Amino acid sequence: MSPTKMAIREKAFKIIRGIFKKHGASEIDTPVFELKETLTSKYGEDSKLIYDLKDQGGELLSLRYDLTVPFARYVAQRGLSSIKRFHIAKVYRRDTPQMNKGRFREFYQCDFDIAGDYSVMLPDADLLAVIIDILSSIGVGNFIVKLNHRKFLDAMISLAGCEKRKFKAICSSIDKLDKESWEDVRDELINMKGLTTEMCDKLEKFVQYKGAPWDMLNRLKSEQVFVGHEEGEKTIKEMETLFTYLEAMNVLDKISFDFSLARGLDYYTGVIYEAVLTDTDRVGSISGGGRYDGLIGMFSGKNIPSVGGSIGIERIFNILEEKAKKEGSVRATETQILVTSMGKNLAPKRMEACAALWKEGFKAETLYVENPRTDKTFSYAFDNGIPLILIIGEDEIKNGMYKLKSLNEKKEYEFKVEDLIP
Amino acid sequence: MSPTKMAIREKAFKIIRGIFKKHGASEIDTPVFELKETLTSKYGEDSKLIYDLKDQGGELLSLRYDLTVPFARYVAQRGLSSIKRFHIAKVYRRDTPQMNKGRFREFYQCDFDIAGDYSVMLPDADLLAVIIDILSSIGVGNFIVKLNHRKFLDAMISLAGCEKRKFKAICSSIDKLDKESWEDVRDELINMKGLTTEMCDKLEKFVQYKGAPWDMLNRLKSEQVFVGHEEGEKTIKEMETLFTYLEAMNVLDKISFDFSLARGLDYYTGVIYEAVLTDTDRVGSISGGGRYDGLIGMFSGKNIPSVGGSIGIERIFNILEEKAKKEGSVRATETQILVTSMGKNLAPKRMEACAALWKEGFKAETLYVENPRTDKTFSYAFDNGIPLILIIGEDEIKNGMYKLKSLNEKKEYEFKVEDLIP
Q: Are A293 and A303 in contact (CB under 8 A)?
A: yes
Confidence of residue B207 (pLDDT cuts 50, 70, 90): very high
> A409 pLDDT exceeds 80?
no
The stretch B53-69 carries a mean pLDDT of: 90
Q: Are B286 and B277 in contact (CB under 8 A)?
A: yes
The stretch A150-176 carries a mean pLDDT of: 92
Nearest residue to A86 via CA among A15, A5, A136: A15
Contacts of A370 in chain B (CB under 8 A): 119-120, 122
Disruptive mutation site among B17, B19, B22 for chain A (greatest number of A CBs within 10 Å): B22
CB contact residues (below 8 A), chain B span 45-64, against chain A: 51-56, 58, 63
pLDDT at A404: 84
Please check whether residue A421 touches B, CB under 8 A: no
Contact across the interface for B248 and A370, Cβ inside 8 Å? no
In terms of residues, how long is chain A?
422
β strands within A199-346, DSSP E: 210-211, 255-258, 271-277, 285-291, 306-311, 337-342
Residue A352's φ and ψ, nearest 5 degrees, are -55, -45
The stretch B50-72 carries a mean pLDDT of: 90
Confidence of residue A160 (pLDDT cuts 50, 70, 90): very high
β strands within A21-133, DSSP E: 26-27, 33-35, 61-63, 83-92, 106-115
DSSP B103: B
Q: Are A67 and A294 in contact (CB under 8 A)?
A: no
pLDDT at B418: 60
Report residue A369 CA to chain centroid gap.
43
Contact across the interface for B129 and A94, Cβ inside 8 Å? no
The stretch B395-417 carries a mean pLDDT of: 76
Could you report how far apart the first and last alpha carbons of chain A are, in Å?
36
Strands A26-27 and A83-92: parallel
Measured between alpha carbons, how far is A326 from A346 in angstroms, rounded to an integer?
A: 40
The more confidently predicted of residues A232 and A395 is: A232
Contacts of B52 in chain A (CB under 8 A): 53-54, 56
Helix runs in A307-393, H state only:
313-327, 347-359, 374-383
Confidence of residue A28 (pLDDT cuts 50, 70, 90): very high
Full strand arrangement of the beta sheet holding B26-27: B26-27, B83-92, B106-115, B306-311, B285-291, B271-277, B143-149, B255-258, B210-211
Strands B285-291 and B306-311: antiparallel
- A195 vs chain B: nearest CA distance in angstroms? 39
- The Cβ-side half-sphere exposure at A239, using a 13 Å CA radius, reads 30
pLDDT at B47: 84
Contacts of B10 in chain A (CB under 8 A): 27
- C-alpha distances in Å from residue B259, one per residue of A346, B206, B211, B310: 30, 7, 9, 21
> CATH fold of B337-419, please?
Rossmann fold (3.40.50)
> A183 pLDDT exceeds 80?
yes
**What pLDDT, in 10s, does the model give residues B295-317?**
999 999 899 999 999 998 988 99
Measured between alpha carbons, how far is B198 from B66 in angstroms, rounded to an integer?
A: 40
Contact across the interface for A118 and B31, Cβ inside 8 Å? no
Contacts of A33 in chain B (CB under 8 A): 106
The stretch B226-251 carries a mean pLDDT of: 95
Residue type, A110: C
- A140 vs chain B: nearest CA distance in angstroms? 19
Contacts of A114 in chain B (CB under 8 A): 368
The stretch B153-157 carries a mean pLDDT of: 93
Confidence of residue A198 (pLDDT cuts 50, 70, 90): very high
pLDDT at B243: 97
Residue A31's φ and ψ, nearest 5 degrees, are -65, 155
Please check whether residue A368 touches B, CB under 8 A: yes
pLDDT at B234: 96
Could you report how far apart the first and last alpha carbons of chain B are, in Å?
36
pLDDT at A329: 72
Q: Is A310 exposed, middle or buried (0-12, 13-18, 19+ CB in 10 A)?
A: buried
Report residue A149 CA to chain centroid gap.
21
Nearest residue to B386 via CA among B401, B368, B404: B404
Q: What is the mean pLDDT of chain B?
A: 89
Please check whether residue A67 touches B, CB under 8 A: no
Contact across the interface for A28 and B349, Cβ inside 8 Å? no
> B123 pLDDT exceeds 70?
yes
The stretch B345-362 carries a mean pLDDT of: 91
Contacts of B114 in chain A (CB under 8 A): 368
> A100 pLDDT exceeds 50?
no
Cross-chain CB nearest to B370 (options A119, A133, A384): A119
Measured between alpha carbons, how far is A201 from A184 in angstroms, rounded to an integer?
A: 14
pLDDT at B57: 81
Contact across the interface for B248 and A348, Cβ inside 8 Å? yes
Nearest CA in chain A to B337: A24
Contacts of B347 in chain A (CB under 8 A): 119, 122, 245, 248
Report residue A72 CA to chain centroid gap.
19
Contacts of B94 in chain A (CB under 8 A): 56, 58
Report residue B387 CA to chain centroid gap.
32
Please check whether residue A349 touches B, CB under 8 A: yes
pLDDT at B102: 44
Confidence of residue A12 (pLDDT cuts 50, 70, 90): very high
> A113 pLDDT exceeds 70?
yes
Which of A101-115, A300-314, B74-88 is least confident? A101-115
Contacts of A250 in chain B (CB under 8 A): 352, 355
pLDDT at B416: 66
- Residue ranges of chain B that CATH labels 3.30.930.10: 3-327
Q: Are A308 and A112 in contact (CB under 8 A)?
A: yes
> A101 pLDDT exceeds 70?
no
Percent of chain A with pLDDT over 70: 95
Please check whether residue A133 touches B, CB under 8 A: yes
Q: Which CATH superfamily is domain B3-327 in?
A: Bira Bifunctional Protein; Domain 2 (3.30.930.10)
pLDDT at B237: 96
Count of CB pairs separated by less than 8 Å, A with B: 184
Cross-chain CB nearest to B333 (options A24, A51, A116): A24
Contact across the interface for B22 and A55, Cβ inside 8 Å? no
Nearest residue to A9 via CA among A328, A365, A315, A382: A315
Please check whether residue B363 touches A, CB under 8 A: yes
The stretch A83-87 carries a mean pLDDT of: 95
Nearest CA in chain A to B50: A56
pLDDT at B100: 47
Cross-chain CB nearest to B32 (options A9, A10, A32): A32
- B23 vs chain A: nearest CA distance in angstroms? 6
pLDDT at A105: 87
**What pLDDT, in 10s, does the model give residues B366-399?**
999 999 998 999 999 998 999 999 998 887 777 7
Cross-chain CB nearest to B358 (options A33, A56, A133): A133
Q: Are B267 and B295 in contact (CB under 8 A)?
A: yes
Contacts of A368 in chain B (CB under 8 A): 114, 116, 118-119, 122-123, 126
Confidence of residue B48 (pLDDT cuts 50, 70, 90): confident
Confidence of residue B40 (pLDDT cuts 50, 70, 90): confident
Q: What is the mean pLDDT of chain A?
A: 89
Measured between alpha carbons, how far is B85 from B111 in angstroms, rounded to an integer?
A: 8
Q: Are B339 and B350 in contact (CB under 8 A)?
A: yes
> A86 pLDDT exceeds 90?
yes
- B208 vs chain A: nearest CA distance in angstroms? 30
- Residue ranges of chain B that CATH labels 3.40.50.800: 337-419
Q: Are A31 and A63 in contact (CB under 8 A)?
A: no
Measured between alpha carbons, how far is A327 from A325 in angstroms, rounded to an integer?
A: 5
Helix (H, G, I), strand (E, B) or coil at A115: strand
Q: Which helix (H) or strand (E) holds B145?
A: strand B143-149
Contact across the interface for B335 and A123, Cβ inside 8 Å? no
> B347 pLDDT exceeds 80?
yes
Contacts of A122 in chain B (CB under 8 A): 347, 368-370
Please check whether residue B94 touches A, CB under 8 A: yes
Strands B388-393 and B271-277: unpaired
Contact across the interface for A23 and B247, Cβ inside 8 Å? no
> A384 pLDDT exceeds 80?
yes
The more confidently predicted of residues B415 and A20 is: A20
> A8 pLDDT exceeds 60?
yes
